[in-house]
Structure 1
Amino acid sequence: MLIDKYCYRSRLRKVNVMEKFCFSMTTLLLCILSRSLAASVLVLFSCGWLTVKKGGIPLRQYGKLLRVPAAFLLLSTLAILVNISKTPLDAYAVPAGSYYITGSTSSLIFGFRLILSALSAVSCLYFLSLSTPVTDLVNILKKLHCPSLFIELFLLIYRFIFILMSEASAIRTSQEARLSNRNFKTALHSFGGMASALLIRAMKRSARLYDAMESRCYDGTIRVLLEEYPPKKKEIIYIVIFELVLLFLIIGRKIYG
């Protein structure tokens, strides 16, 4: 819900949506294919600067959004960074009985490069999602000739995410007011009750939503009022220059190792 709120407030919202989409997807693709530290750092700081400075998203909130994937990436790369072996490796070695909790320099560099590449890819997606409302993304999907069924499912699922979150928050508040989470046993019982109530409410809300669509002459296609913003030549030139710089960094890494 925070992302949806900020994308409507972003100062980059009125930038041509195709420009933002091409920039984020091209940068994301180059970043993933390269696995270059220099390219990852450039992408991470560039997308962050565009989102925070140009888009007007608070730096603190942007940091909170990055914290979630960063924690997940750190936990998922522990298997690369930490090894248990009888032979100590060159980076570090902590004795634990007859074994060592150890790691090599190459594995640390690889793990750091992997985390940085993934974070820079996430920053590309955050740039797009924090500056582009869902209705504009629907316009992109239509221009890419995505099936109408896929677009409708995308809109309905996105809508129901907020409905379920709102209903779950209301049920959770009601349970906490009745002290239903005072211990582990009651918390499990409350969670089961919330899940069952949420299922029933979601089915009722979906039925009401479909009735509302039918009353508005729904014919199998969801139509959204779109606002077009013309592309600017200067912005296109900046995007091309940035992608060329990124490409040169990738080529330089391939040539010089």
Structure 2
Amino acid sequence: MATALDRLSYQSRWYAVAPERKFMFWLVIMALALTLTPFGQAMLLALLAAFTCWLLRISLRRWLRWMAIPIGFLLVGVVTILFSITPEPQQVIFGVQMGSVWLGVTPEGLAAANGTLWRSLAALAATFWLVLNLPFPQLILLLKRGRVPRLLTEQILLTWRFIFILLDEAAAIHRAQTLRFGYRTLPQGYHSLAMLVGLLFTRVLLRYKAMAITLDIKLYQGDFHL
């Protein structure tokens, strides 16, 4: 099983490009994302969006849907930077008085939040570009050529494998619950979700035991062929 993101990496126009070149390009755009001015970071974000959509043959709307997932967490952090507490009202652009202090937006907080927002968006777009254009076998090859310890590479490989097992089992349980109207009402939805979590843990352990038995049958000696 492969996720939609994993399948897209195989249809990229840069699929045949060496993983080392993709990684070096990612380092360059990450350096730009971290060092440019906010205006430059916004321009880099737009260029990366267009370039990623062209490489993967996808629409801008689909790319934006993917970006919207981490942006929600990013905005929470930006809001905490944006608002400040100060005892001097003249330092606040706008805000509300809370006793002897003011809660509001200061010029320093606005500049810091603006810089953090565009820097994070540009870096996030750059990382998305790498993930969407680097198939997992090429990532393993890149780790091997980079002399990453074999144990760490095997851990990454197993983690990647179990992500798909987890998603597969969760989708199967959710589909069965939906067919039985398990999410028809909000209370039923909470009850079904609790059952899903419990069953998911049990079924993943069973899948792990099945994989361990398969490895024993194949005379597994503690090392994966990478």
Instruction: Tell me the equivalent position of 2:214.
Output: 212
Q: How far apart, CA to CA, are the structure 2 residues paired with 1:122 and 1:22?
A: 16
What is the CA deviation profile of residues 114-164 of structure 1, one whole-angstrom value per residue up to 9, with x for unaligned ones? 011111111111111111111100001001111111111111111111111
Q: Letter of the aligned partner of 1:138 in structure 2?
A: I
Q: 1:153 to 1:171 in 2, by over 3 A?
A: same
Q: How far apart, CA to CA, are the structure 1 residues paired with 2:90 and 2:157?
A: 51
Q: Is the 8 A contact 1:6 1:57 kept in 2?
A: no
Q: CA deviation at 1:76?
A: 1.2
Instruction: Tell me the equivalent position of 1:22.
Output: 24
Q: How far apart, CA to CA, are the structure 1 residues paired with 2:49 and 2:90?
A: 36
Q: How far apart, CA to CA, are the structure 1 residues paired with 2:93 and 2:186?
A: 40
Instruction: Between 85-94 and 8-17, report the one with greater CA deviation.
Output: 85-94
Does the residue aligned with 2:104 lie in a helix, a strand or coil? strand
What is the CA deviation profile of residues 170-204 of structure 1, one whole-angstrom value per residue up to 9, with x for unaligned ones? 21222233333345544333222212211111011
Aligned residue among 6, 11, 14 for 2:13: 11
Give the structure-1-normalised TM-score.
0.76
Q: How far apart, CA to CA, are the structure 1 residues paired with 2:71 and 2:129?
A: 16
Identity %: 25
Q: How far apart, CA to CA, are the structure 2 residues paired with 1:172 and 1:54?
A: 33
Aligned residue among 155, 158, 164 for 1:162: 164
The within-5 A match list for 1:1-257 is 1-32=3-34, 34=35, 36-83=37-84, 87-88=88-89, 92-95=93-96, 101-224=103-226
Q: How far apart, CA to CA, are the structure 1 residues paired with 2:40 and 2:213?
A: 50
Q: How far apart, CA to CA, are the structure 1 residues paired with 2:56 and 2:183?
A: 40
Does the residue aligned with 1:102 lie in a helix, a strand or coil? strand
Q: CA deviation at 1:68?
A: 1.6
Q: 1:142 to 1:83 in 2, by over 3 A?
A: same
Q: 1:5 to 1:121 in 2, by over 3 A?
A: same
Q: Letter of the aligned partner of 2:141 in structure 1?
A: N
Q: CA deviation at 1:112?
A: 1.1
Q: Is the 8 A contact 1:89 1:102 kept in 2?
A: no
Q: Letter of the aligned partner of 1:114 in structure 2?
A: T
Instruction: Tell me the equivalent position of 1:239.
Output: none
Q: Is the 8 A contact 2:81 2:113 kept in 1?
A: yes
Q: Letter of the aligned partner of 2:61 in structure 1?
A: R
Q: 1:111 to 1:200 in 2, by over 3 A?
A: same
Q: Is the 8 A contact 2:26 2:127 kept in 1?
A: yes
Q: 1:219 to 1:26 in 2, by over 3 A?
A: farther
